[in-house]
Amino acid sequence: MKSLSLLPFLCSLSLLSVVTASTAYPSIPGTDSGECSLAGVETINLPPPPRREVYDNGRIFDITHKYVPEMPVFGSSEGLGNFLWLPRSMKNGSLANNSAFKLDVHTGTHVDAPGHFYDNYYDAGFDVDTLDLELLNGLALLVDVPRDSNITAEVMKSLHIPKGVRRVLFRTLNTDRRLMFKKEFDSSYVGFKEDGAKWLVENTDIKLVGVDYLSVASYDHSVESHLVFLKSREIILVEGLKLDDVPSGIYSLRCLHLRNVPSALYCCCALSLFLLSQMLMQNGVTAACHKYS
């Protein structure tokens, strides 16, 4: 079961390798400079496969970050490093190309499990399998946060997010500073202060919180803010979103995370998600949020 459930993600990485082979496989031992090409094998230059940009009359925005060696890692100046390689290569005589990768599950765009900051939740099995799939998929509001502050209670009040809105993606100064594109971790990133997290929990209906750097919490409130958000096990945190060039407004969010990763790795998980344009807006939440569109 475990290998089957992981297969779609592995396949998506394989597709990525076709498009950007040079960056996807930065250092495959023994295969530098094309020296391992098999004599007599014809090289066919194929155009890259088409990317689906439109679906059901709505534009698709991929708001996940691509895994690259230069991707930042929380608390590290080294970045992700080489995480993907090709142990079986047709250029080296294998019948098929077969990739392998190794990376921390808290890497890049990911969700936090309740057990990420509560050890008793972790022991009880509250991992990403327990997250509400209905909550991970549905209408979401993308808002711009004032650029001169962390997300405090005052900032949350100023955003005037209507009651009934359940999913909000917060775009901050982190996007302007392109922090997710810088290898060295930057502790001056913007995130939720503890009072901002408390205000959200106590005064809104938001159950999915998305942010544009590696932590939903500001660096100095890393533990406090996570504890506030994760205590009820009802709020899902999506971190490391790629929100460049996406207009603020209301979207249909598709957030799919990995299941059945061995429990020892279960703090957080990678995911794929997309936003469809406002054309997919429906009643209810949309009516309450029309001023953002």
Q: Pseudo-torsion of CA 238, 201, 147, 162, nearest 10°?
A: 100
Residue 6 tokens read as: 């992981």
Q: Pseudo-torsion of CA 21, 25, 30, 33, nearest 10°?
A: 40
213-252: contacts with Zn ion (CB under 5 A) = 215
Q: Which stretch binds Zn ion (CB under 5 A): 16-24, 85-93, 210-218, 275-283?
A: 210-218
Q: Minimum Å distance from CB 241 to Zn ion?
A: 12
Name the amino acid, one letter, at 249. Answer: G
With CB under 5 A, what is the number of residues at the site for Zn ion?
Answer: 2
CA distances from 210 to 14, 124, 229 (A): 27, 25, 12
CA distances from 187 to 77, 105, 144, 219 (A): 11, 20, 21, 6
Q: Minimum Å distance from CB 72 to Zn ion?
A: 14
Strand partners, 157: none
- Angle formed at CA 226 by CA 263 and CA 269, multiple of 5 degrees: 35
Contact 156, 196 (CB under 8 A): yes
5 Cβ contact partners less than 8 Å away, ≥ 6 residues apart = 258, 259, 260
Which is closer to Zn ion, CB of 206 or CB of 285? 206
Which is closer to Zn ion, CB of 229 or CB of 251? 229
Q: Minimum Å distance from CB 146 to Zn ion?
A: 22
Which is closer to Zn ion, CB of 112 or CB of 212? 112
Q: Which stretch binds Zn ion (CB under 5 A): 68-76, 85-93, 154-162, 211-219?
A: 211-219
Which is closer to Zn ion, CB of 112 or CB of 194? 112
Q: Minimum Å distance from CB 226 to Zn ion?
A: 6
Contact 59, 277 (CB under 8 A): yes
Interface residue with Zn ion, options 60, 72, 112, 145 (CB under 5 A): 112
Q: Minimum Å distance from CB 213 to Zn ion?
A: 10
Which is closer to Zn ion, CB of 60 or CB of 197? 197
Which is closer to Zn ion, CB of 175 or CB of 215? 215
Q: Minimum Å distance from CB 140 to Zn ion?
A: 18
Which is closer to Zn ion, CB of 73 or CB of 84? 73
Q: Which stretch binds Zn ion (CB under 5 A): 43-51, 89-97, 161-169, 207-215?
A: 207-215
End-to-end CA distance of the chain, in Å?
Answer: 42
Q: Minimum Å distance from CB 160 to Zn ion?
A: 25
Contact 56, 276 (CB under 8 A): yes
Q: Which positions touch Zn ion (CB under 5 A)?
A: 112, 215
